[in-house]
Amino acid sequence: MHAPGAAALRVRLSPAGRARWRSRRPTRPGCRWPRRRACCPSRCGTPADSNADADADADADGSLLRTRWVPVEPAPAPAEPVAVLGRQGDLPVDGAVHYPDLDALAAAVADGAAVPQTVLVPVGPEPGEVPSAVRAATGRMLGLVRAWLGEARLSGARLVAVTRTAVVAEPGDGGPDLAGAAVWGLLRSAQSEHPRRFGLLDLDATARVPQGLAAALREDEAQLAVRGERLLAPRLLPMTAAGSVTVDPDPEDQLPDPEGTVLVTGGTGTLGGLLARHLVARGARHLLLAGRRGGQAPVAAELVAELTGLGAQVRVVSCDVADRQSLAGLLREIPAEHPLTTVVHAAGVVDDGLVEALTPERLAAVLRPKADAAWNLHELTAGLGLAEFVLFSSAAGTFGSAGQANYAAANAFLDALAQHRRAQGLPGLSLAWGLWAERSALTGALDAADLARLGREGVRALSTPDALRLFDTPARRSASRS
C-alpha cells in the first residue's frame, strides 16, 4: 500500500477453488473491511492475502457472523448544505433548511434554490398494530424513494432516512423499533441499486443529528447510528469473536425435546423440509408442518412417509400463517401432552423487482408471510414457554440485495423481531441465511448469470450439510437466548 496517510485497505476476495482465495487490486485507501462480501451465516474464509489458504469448512462457529456496531470517525470535509423534509419540530438540525415535503424541495430547486447535498427525512414512530405500522412505514418510504429517484434535479443529492432506535447498536438499546427496522431493510436494497443516493441514520431516544453528519455519510459509511456522542457503523464479525456469545458446552442441550411439538412454517418448502428431516434425525418426535397448500404441496406425502419411517409423528396442515385466526386455530389443536416447544418460521415468498418497479401491493405481498406471520407467531405463542423461536431470514435484509427491497424489508423485520423478543426475555433468533445450494421455489429462477453475479459479489451457495451444521452450532443455540 503506497498511498500516504492510508489507514485501511479494501481488498476484494473471491473464491479460487476449494479453500483458496484470489485477492483483487486494492481500491481507494480509507475504505473499511468487510461489508458486502460476507454472508450471515455462511462460509466465509478468513480475509487473506492472495492465494492464502483458508479452510472455510473447518470452523463452523467462525462461519456464523453477527452484526456489531463499531465507533467510526467522520472524515473531515467541508460543511455541506443540508435540507430536512417535514415539520421543523420533527427533526431539528442546526443550519438546515426545512421543506414540508419532497414536492416543496423540488419546487424550490426549480425556482433556483441551491441543491442540498444531503436531505434528511425523519421516519416514525408509526402508530397502530405492528404489521400495519410496518406496511405503512415501508409503503411511505417506498413512495418517497421512487419520487426521489424521479427528481432529476436532485440526482446529485443523498436522501437520508433518520430513524430512532430502529437498530440495536449497543447492548443497552433494548428492542428496536420494528417498523423502522423494516425501513432499514428496504433502504439497504435501494442503496445497492443506487449507490450514494441513500443513507441511513439511527438516533437514540435523545441524540440530535450530529455536526459533520453529511461528511460522514458521504465518505464510506452509508449506514450510521448515533449513540450519545458516538458515531457507530455496522460490521459483520464472527460470532465467537464478537465477545458476548458464550458457547454452550453441553451437546445434549442441543437436542430437541422429544415430547415437545416442533412447528415449522413453510415446512413443506425446500428448507423447511430439509430442516424437518434434520430435526427428526436429532430426536424430534412430534412435528407440525404448516403451509398454505398443506398436504397438497408437491413433496408433502413423500416427506411425511420419510419422517414417519424415522419414528416421528408428523402432521402436515394447510394454514396461512399470516392469517391470525387460522394460526390461532392451528396452535389450539396441539395436544397438551406434546406442547409446542419450538417454532421455526421458514414461510416466505419473493416478488423481485427494482425499487422503482415495486408497489405497495408487491411490498405487502412479501411482508405478509414473513413479517405478519412472524408477528402472529410471536404474539400467539408468548405465554407458552417456548424453548426456541427461530426465524429463517435472509442476508438480503443485512446487505440489501439489489432487486429485493420488499424481501429485504421483510427479513430486516425478522431480524429485529428476534432482538425484540430477546429484549423481552423470550427466546428468539433470526438466521439471515445466504444462498442455499439446494434450489427452491424462491431461488429456482436464478440462472447461471445470476449465480455468476452473486459469485462476483462474494456469495457462494451453502451446501445442505454445511447449512445444517451451522444450524446446530453451539454458538447459534446459545445466541437464541443471549
Ligand X SMILES: NC(=O)c1ccc[n+]([C@@H]2O[C@H](COP(=O)([O-])OP(=O)(O)OC[C@H]3O[C@@H](n4cnc5c(N)ncnc54)[C@H](OP(=O)(O)O)[C@@H]3O)[C@@H](O)[C@H]2O)c1
Residues that bind ligand X (CB under 6 A): 265-266, 268-272, 290-293, 297, 320-322, 346-349, 369, 373, 392, 394, 433, 435-436, 440-443
Task: Return the number of the residue (194 or 345) whose C-beta is nearest ligand X.
Answer: 345
Angstrom distance (rounded) from CA 368 to CA 348: 8
Which C-beta is closer to ligand X: that of 60 or that of 271?
271
Tell me how far, at minimum, the Cβ of 414 lies from ligand X, in Å.
8
Q: Which is nearer to ligand X, 165 or 270 (CB)?
A: 270
Task: Provide the b/e sequence for 319-329 (b: ≥16 CB within 10 Å).
Answer: bbbbbbebbee
Euclidean distance between CA atoms 116 and 99, whole angstroms: 12
Q: How far apart are CA 318 and CA 447, in angstroms?
A: 31
CB of 461 to ligand X, least distance (A): 7
Find cell 443529492 and name the residue: 157
User: Nearer to ligand X by C-beta: 160 or 276?
Assistant: 276
Residues of the chain by 3-state class (helix, strand, coil), percent to 5: 35, 20, 45
What is the rounded CA–CA span in Å between residue 218 and residue 311? 58
Residue 410 CB, nearest approach to ligand X (Å): 8
CB of 443 to ligand X, least distance (A): 5
> Least Å distance between CB 268 and ligand X?
5
Q: Please report how close the Cβ of residue 321 comes to ligand X at its closest, in angstroms.
A: 4
Radius of gyration of the chain (CA): 23
Least distance in angstroms from the C-beta of 473 to ligand X? 17
Q: Give buried/exposed letters for 262-275 (b at 16+ CB in 10 A, else e).
A: bbbbbbbbbbbbbb
User: Toward ligand X, which CB reaches closer, 99 or 433?
Assistant: 433
Q: Are strands 286-291 and 340-345 parallel, antiparallel or unpaired?
A: unpaired
Closer by beta carbon to ligand X, 137 or else 330: 330
| Of 175 and 272, CB closest to ligand X | 272
Q: Which residue number, 37 or 158, has a Cβ lying nearer to ligand X?
A: 37
Give 315's strand partners: 288
Q: Which is nearer to ligand X, 413 or 436 (CB)?
A: 436
Residue nearest to ligand X (CB): 269
Closest distance to ligand X from the beta carbon of 352 (Å)? 12
State the DSSP string of 193-218: HSTTSEEEEEE-SSPPPPTTHHHHHH
Phi, psi of 276 (to 5 degrees): -60, -45
- The nearer residue to ligand X, 293 or 453, going by C-beta atoms, is 293
Q: Following DSSP, what letter does each residue of 261-293 receive, concatenated?
A: EEEEETTTSHHHHHHHHHHHHTT--EEEEEESS
CB distance 120 to 162 below 8 Å: yes
Rounded Cα gap, residues 262 and 105, in angstroms: 53
Peptide bond into 256 cis (omega under 30): no
Do 42 and 433 form a contact (C-beta atoms < 8 A)?
A: yes
**Smallest distance, Å, CB 394 to ligand X?**
4
Nearest CB to ligand X, comparing residues 221 and 415: 415
In whole angstroms, how close is the CB of 141 to ligand X at the nearest point? Answer: 21
Give the angle 176-169-418 at the CA atoms, nearest 5°: 40
Instruction: Give least dist CB 293 to ligand X, A.
Output: 3
